[in-house]
Amino acid sequence: MGFVILAIAAATANAFGASVFAMVSHGFRGGPALPAGRFPVDRAHTRELDRFGGLGRVMPVWGVAFTFGALASLGLPACRLPREFVTVLESFTVFGWWIVIGTLGLALGAAYNLRAVRNSVQGAPGEFSALPDLGPARLG
């Protein structure tokens, strides 16, 4: 949501449009992704990604939901990339080269999401392979 604040600070018409698009797409992307991300953490009582390894094999529904949420956060279903691109372009005209520092967060966020998918969904099942799969009654 930092890009929303950046777009509002740029105060151009295109930046305002990008911020509205960001808020709407965040609701569509964040709503399904957050419960899927919290599910194994709540059941295993740990946040160490390295201990979850291979949950995609024993929890395939959760693996698909978590991977979709991570990829949506990266912008692959075209919900994040266009708005951030417009925000960066519009902000560059206002703030100049300082905006380059802000775009480093994009690379760090992408690296973290890909690492989370690799460590928790892929690979051989780890110590939490007995967790139940995601279902309608288990979201709460």
Which amino acid is located at 23 in the chain? M
Question: What pLDDT digit, counting tens, does each position of 1-13 carry?
Answer: 677 788 888 888 8
Cβ pair 49, 119 in contact under 8 A: yes
Is residue 137 very low, low, confident or very high in pLDDT (cuts 50, 70, 90)?
low
Q: What are phi and psi of 40, to 5 degrees?
A: -70, -30
Question: What pLDDT digit, counting tens, does each position of 64-106 carry?
Answer: 888 888 887 776 656 566 777 788 888 888 888 888 877 787 7
| Cα dist from 23 to 8, 18, 29, 63, 69, whole Å | 12, 9, 10, 26, 16
Pick from 116, 123, 124: nearest CA to 40: 116
**pLDDT on residue 79:** 59
Q: What is the pTM of this model?
A: 0.69
Distance between CA atoms of residues 134 and 138, nearest Å:
6
